[in-house]
Structure formats: C-alpha cells, structure tokens
Amino acid sequence: MSIQLPDDPYDAVVGLRTVRKYAPRPVSDEDRDAILEAGRWTGSAKNRQDWLFLVVDEPAVQAQLADCGRFSGPLRDARLVIVPIRLPGGYEFDIGRVSQNMMLAAFARGVGSCPVTMHDEACAAAVLGVPADHGVRYALCFGYPDDAAEKAARAGRGYGGRKPLDELIRHNRF
C-alpha cells in the first residue's frame, strides 16, 4: 500500500485518482467500516438518505456483476465492492455524493478505489437480488493499490488530466 497521504484535506480532494489494480490482501474490517461510516454521514436531499450500501466481497458475485458493465474489469479484481443502492424516489445526485465521500474516505486511509458503471442495470439488480424499483447503476471497487500493476496498466497514457479552469468557468450568464 503506498498511497501518499496528503496532510491537507484539500490535497486529498484534488488528488483523488482512480485505482484499478489492487494488492492481494483484503481491505481490513476497520477500513471497510470507516468507508461505510463516511457514506452514512453524507448529506442528501432533505436528509432522506435514500440509499443502502450493499457490501460484496465474494469473488463469484463480483465476477457476475462484472458482466453487467462494459468497463467493469476492476470489479473482478477488487478486494471489496460497495454498491450504493438508490431507494425508490432517491436522487442520483445523492448517490454521486455518497460514492465520492466513500472514495475520499478510502483514499484518506490508503485504500484505492474506482467507480464502475452498471450499463445493464437490470443485470446488476438480478445478480444482487435488488428490487426492480431500486437503482443499481454504479458499483465502487476498493483495495490497497498494487502500484506496479497500476503503473504497468497506465503505461503510455498515465493519469487523465483535467480541462483548464478557464474553459470551465462562466460568470453571471452562460
């Protein structure tokens, strides 16, 4: 495990990058619970907390889930998967917030993460036994980083950059 932990929380917010290659050791119960606790404390519209956190750590289930997305390789290798389930009437915005908070909390504890899209949501619902009126669009992969494998996988392309701020900002009117 070798995430460079920033001293300043701001640096964690701007420094969070996806990790798709994970060391063999499982995520500790303490780190798993800290990640889930960060999810629990996320703010939501009207504080409705319209979510459930489905914890998946059976490789066979992870492999089935991986067949439900187009870019879901990390799901097979993850040491821990948390699927944020959106309850009926809940907002996808809240699921985004809860996901980011869990990934930031993981990062703060040296755990790498990657969100994965369940392009075939019905498939994910069937694999996990989630009722049809619940949302299961994303799964979050976690594990301590395997730096060498991550570097090799990123060879030639490195980390994605970001658009410059002056392309993103408008003042007062579009």
Ligand X SMILES: Cc1cc2nc3c(=O)[nH]c(=O)nc-3n(C[C@H](O)[C@H](O)[C@H](O)COP(=O)(O)O)c2cc1C
Contact residues for ligand X, defined by CB under 6 A: 17-18, 20, 69, 71-72, 74, 114-117, 159-160
* Shortest Å distance, C-beta 26 to ligand X: 21
What angle do the packed helices 29-40 and 92-108 form, to 10 degrees? 140
If the CB atoms of residues 35 and 118 are measured against ligand X, the closer one turns out to be 118
Asked if 55 contacts 32 with a C-beta cutoff of 8 angstroms, the reply is: yes
Question: CB of residue 131 vs ligand X: minimum separation in angstroms?
Answer: 22
3-state SS track over 112-168? EEEEEECCCHHHHHHHHCCCCCCECCEEEEEECECHHHHHHHCCCCCCCCCCCHHHH
16 or 27: CB nearest ligand X: 16
In degrees rounded to 5, what are phi and psi of residue 7?
-75, -35
- By beta-carbon proximity to ligand X, the closer residue of 19 and 38 is 19
Minimum distance, C-beta of residue 35 to ligand X, in the bound complex (Å): 17
16 or 54: CB nearest ligand X: 16
Partners of residue 117 on adjacent β-strands:
138
- Least separation in angstroms between residue 64's CB and ligand X is 16
